[in-house]
Structure 1
């Protein structure tokens, strides 16, 4: 009896109620809310050709890109060869223009000056959401110093290219649900992690390691590289970890190949492997070099993408080179596809006349024995 009274007095002194609601009842009345934002992200490349001819047209004079559609709106990129105003001096400027009539759009924007030598791009972005409308259709200005643009890295053959990446906010809503009975009513927006990581690479924020590839410097993030590549993981967090401030030299690789590989590590995609202007030969060469790089750094998905692209364009002129690479880098399915392609006697005869076949004979003698069997079988 005394203990019960003492317990009740202690509860009262400590501010606890004498009668408590059960835990299960509290959970049943629990609700939650979520701020859900639906976005659409895309990019547009604007190439300026004849830079020297536009230079000097006058401050405030604007040249527009073609109209492009992103997020359900029409846009153009405005280019001011002599800047939009007198300040800052010796600079060029860009802005984004909403071209859809009677529209209002909320956007975030990144404008990147692309390197033409495989080096790091220069990027500017709007840190906050910008609202553009029919009455006020222009974004804030993005400016670049003229001497920076005119360096050999960004201006080539009197032309340069900028990439405009837009994230359009299409809908925002506050959704409330009963967590116990209706958890599925909270809608998730599509993941844009790859876009955020790629933007981090393009703008160059927070890079903590650099690579020297034939004189071209690339900045990157150690943790991202280590997460994606077992080889980079060993190199950057193994014995080389102490060399934090040194640039790592990459040998036997072209800057463009390293740049594309680096973009894949951050984005998990390779837009460069899409055929452009019918230049199939250049695409195949890039796929071949990327295959070697992917195998070197343990990037299996990139390796498979290269295999698929090389398979799509197998012909008598490149099949020997493709077969050599497939054998050297353990691409069994691609190797089997090449051998199957060579089986017809007339194809084999044409392949044997190519330079790639001569190289294959010297570097992969085991394949030669397989081809001899094919040739012997064809004579029967």
Structure 2
């Protein structure tokens, strides 16, 4: 008996992203209140959607509705969805304060939230980084501080199996990954289309890569009459 042809293919995809964020003029940002709209400080793309990071501060009593004449010494951070979409997503968010040099993460002040959310336009997932005002000064440098943000998103991806669309896994593109790929390409020599002799040794290379790196090679390898 012949098996039934599949019409739709659905699977769960895992997306990750991390980036560093610098908050400048922290003392001025303390004038903003969380009962107003938190300011948008950064936008980014994840899983084909646009997202934003919102930042604000509130009172030392961790009261979401701040009172007048109180000290705003707690950091509130939100990740909000800017793309019109309605699907169940599993989202993990982590913010970590960096030391003033930005070289390493300070483990004592890390906050995270992970839960399944039915995200719609302008929905936000918030985390609160609570510390006393005296503690915040340990991370300030010239009225600025740095954060590291790490996100993990799991969502369903469905395609019409009859359209012969191939599901492509998330890209691992980064500057370091690109360097490793170029090095591997040079070592294997795969697809090499030009050769040089250096001190009697034959070295193969890729014409387009050379042209990309040097205008001299570009003019030599891709003449108008080629």
Normalising by the smaller structure, the TM-score range is 0.5 to 0.7
User: The residue matched to 1:53 in structure 2 has which SS?
Assistant: helix
- Confirm whether residue 45 of structure 1 aligns to residue 29 of structure 2: no
Shift, 1:105, TM fit: 5.5
Does the CA contact (< 8 Å) of 2:96 and 2:105 recur in 1? no
Partner of residue 123, structure 2? 137
The verdict on how the C-alpha distance between 1:103 and 1:160 changes in structure 2, with shifts beyond 3 A counting, is: farther
What CA distance in whole angstroms lies between the structure 2 residues aligned with 1:116 and 1:81?
20
Contact 1:110–1:166 (8 Å) recurs in 2: yes
Q: Aligned equivalents of 2:35 and 2:134: distance in 1?
A: 19
How far did 1:47 drift?
A: 1.5
Q: How far apart, in 2, do the equivalents of 1:147 and 1:59 lie? A: 21
**Secondary structure of 1:157 counterpart:** coil
Which protein has the bigger strand share? 2
In structure 2, the residue matched to 1:164 is 149
Q: Which consecutive aligned stretches of 4+ in structure 1 deviate over 4 angstroms post-superposition?
A: none
CA contact (8 A) 1:81 1:92 kept: yes
Matched-pair contact (CA < 8 Å) for 1:91–1:143: yes
1:58 has 2:58 as partner = no
Q: CA deviation at 1:142?
A: 2.3
Q: RMSD value over aligned CA atoms?
A: 3.7
Q: How does 1:245-284 map to 2 (within 5 A)?
A: none
Segments of structure 1 that go 5 or more residues without pairing to the other structure are: 1-35, 174-186, 193-269, 275-304, 309-380
Contact 1:60 1:80 in 2 (8 A): no
User: Map of 1:13-28 to 2, 5 A cutoff?
Assistant: none
More helix by share: 1
The alpha-carbon distance between structure 1 residues 164 and 57, as it changes in their structure 2 partners (threshold 3 A), is: same
Check whether the contact 2:77–2:128 (CA below 8 A) recurs between aligned residues: yes
User: Does structure 2 retain, via aligned residues, the 8 Å contact 1:50–1:158?
Assistant: yes
Q: Distance in 2 between matches of 1:125 and 1:86?
A: 23
The structure 2 residue matched to 1:79, chosen from 36, 50, 55, is: 55
Aligned mates of 1:65, 1:119 — CA distance in 2 = 22
Given the superposition, is the C-alpha separation of residues 37 and 147 from structure 1 closer, same or farther in structure 2, using an over 3 Å criterion?
farther
Q: Give TM-score, length-normalised by structure 2.
A: 0.52
Larger radius of gyration: 1
| 1:75 CA drift (Å) | 0.5
Higher RCO, 1 vs 2 (CA within 8 Å, ≥6 residues apart) = 2
Contact 2:97 2:105 in 1 (8 A): no
